[in-house]
Structure 1
Amino acid sequence: MKIAVIGGGAAGFFASISAAEQGNEVHLFEKTSKVLGKVKISGGGRCNVTNETFNPVQLSKNYPRGERFLKKAFGKFNATHTLDWFKERGVEIKAEADGRMFPVTNESQTIIDCLMEQANINKVKVHYNSEVSKVIPQENSIELIINNEVIVFDKVIVTIGGQPKKESFSWLEKLGHKIESPVPSLFTFKINHKPLSKLMGLSVDNAKVRVVGEKKLQEEGPLLITHWGLSGPAILRTSAWGARLLSDRNYQFDILVSWYNKMSDQELREFVQEKKIELKKKQIKNKNPFELPQRLWDYLLERIEIPETKLWLDLSKKELNKLVEVLLSDNYSVHGTTKFKEEFVTCGGVSLSDIDVKTMESKKCSHLHFAGEVMDIDGITGGFNFQAAWTTGFISGNSMKS
């Protein structure tokens, strides 16, 4: 069969290679002059290939959109299969302490080279600067208009990725698909608080972030202070789970930060009382019993107006309450978002109710398949978005059996 794949990202290449391995003639069309851009920059240039979550059910729980759909898909191709796939093609993948997995070379180019090599081995024809402007379904085929030329294919796989505006999906909507409006996911929080921004570059290993008024919207993990506000895994996961809700709020909301996420309120109060006695004649600035970075400790003391020269013994009940509160529930107002570097992820896209999970084929348009973020699927940070790309790309490509 003659297969067209629209979009030169991770899902597009995986779908192309999988389809070509079935003996098909595969053409991959990329509208720009570059392919695999997200693979290149992801994970700080190391490419976070997948996550060390090998149970398909547990793996699926890391997707704010698409959990039930992917639970079935991961039965066919999951993180274990991803590792095997790359290993069989000469690429070893390693796990880090937080579960993220990278090539042992720590270079995203290793993944790019592997995908390009496999596309070449399987004779995938990659067409650059080739924009598909129209899709015309026929009874047993699909016509594509590419750079004003009409080309007929037996089947088409759409892998155009997430799009910032719903209009970008209009051609798929015209084919009968329901489009879930795209909104940003995996973004950082913009906080206009100059004293905090002076701590840019500082990180806390285990913090908790809660969105005020939303009991279920809270995440734990590393937190990074930037010149524009807050970032790091705890923030990114919060943004992913709350993508639609925070969009509805126009990204104007309050958060509570627990800088010391090791004790409950009562436990911390008792701990502080113990330290007041134990460190009684020590200056509070010089004795920080919470294992927090010194600059952060100084900032928090200034924030609750406790003089640096004050002795632990001299802390009043009111000051002790303030200390507990700022450690467990430090309040900040968020006014807007910023992209997480260039790794822009959206929730939204083609509704999963319109897609057959066994083949990734459209239920609205025969011979049209999907893979990757063009569908209403997105994961939290940690390699989950690439895993969804590999999985859906494999299933869609593998279904192209002559």
Structure 2
Amino acid sequence: MEAVTEMKYALDTFYFLVSGALVMWMAAGFAMLEAGLVRAKNTAEILTKNIVLYAVACIMYMIVGYNIMYGDGVNSVIPSLSFLLGGDNTVEEVLAGGEDAPYYSNMSDFFFQVVFVATAMSIVSGAVAERMKLWAFLAFAVVMTGFIYPVQGFWKWGGGFLDGLGFLDFAGSGVVHLAGATAALAGVLLLGARKGKYGPNGEVNAIPGANLPLATLGTFILWLGWFGFNGGSELKVSDVGEANAVALVFVNTNMAAAGGVVAALITARLLFGKADLTMALNGALAGLVAITAEPLAPTPLLATVVGAVGGVLVVFSIITLDKLKIDDPVGAISVHGVVGIWGLLAVTLSNEESSLLSQLIGIGVIFAWVFGTAFVTWLIIKAVMGLRVSEEEEYNGVDLTECGLEAYPEFTSSK
């Protein structure tokens, strides 16, 4: 019996680690997607942001964020504050039996959770692209990953008051995606639009990305990584019931993305008369975000429908934000925010334990907390070092002004 227990512990720990590695690979997906959707003169800078934000997230979450999110808490609203990671489980604790016995390594849990934090911060990167100062962005990353994200994470996944209210969010349509999009929205509102994006009479001028093959590769990487994102959130795989659950989560995740692609492409064709690749890419991501709040309860057909609704929503959301002159170069606020809200509401379609009121409260609380704290943080950074590069620097490209090099020096001019 002890050998079986140890084998299950080892298997679930390994599954957790591999799932975390898949989610970590999503950092590459975000980097490729964003590098493909910005102009050539801003590519090296956004790649720098993506690799450094991942490192910052890991360090801040190790120092303080993980303990805020998963500490005992002063109460269900106020988390506790402590620093650095504790030890791992002993053999005696694992073999103790009962419901309280750990079934995977504490360190595997940290690794799985830290890559989620980096995902939330990656969402911010694309929305503020092409005109934000690199060091202002990285300063915000410190606060977002160390404090803002973990507090609202504690309220749900750390056993806080949102969890007590019955708010359901299986893998993070709200805790990760809505939180990241909300922080991005606060930054974009303070930052303003890129020069030339909007005309004086309300015109919306398209600013094409430099490398659509790269953006497509990034989308496929994100699609792959999402199997770890949602599948790993089942937490176990070492018995028949859990193995079947993980398989269903994988299938539903895949089907939702497929539904999002097809629905977004058809919507774009009806609206624009063309098969818009960028909308199809965002449709895939929208489908994935939509199913993330509840990938286990729906049938594969319903999961496809949930993803398809997300694909339609993201197209209309991108158009609407442009009409409001909210400039988001990669559509991150629409994909992760608007569709994140839809995903949280869609939980009520398949999970009998869900409550529409609880879901609405969770959406409101996450948005209010993240927007308020992010807006104040952005304001402080703006006062201390400024948020936006100069007009000349924006014209020349932030690759040269922030990084001193170009991503495509043989093929492009800085101007």
Specify if TM > 0.5. Answer: no
Q: Would you tell me which structure has more strand in proportion to its own residues?
A: 1
TM-score bin (small chain): under 0.3
Q: Would you tell me which structure has more helix in proportion to its own residues?
A: 2
Normalization by structure 2: what TM-score?
0.25
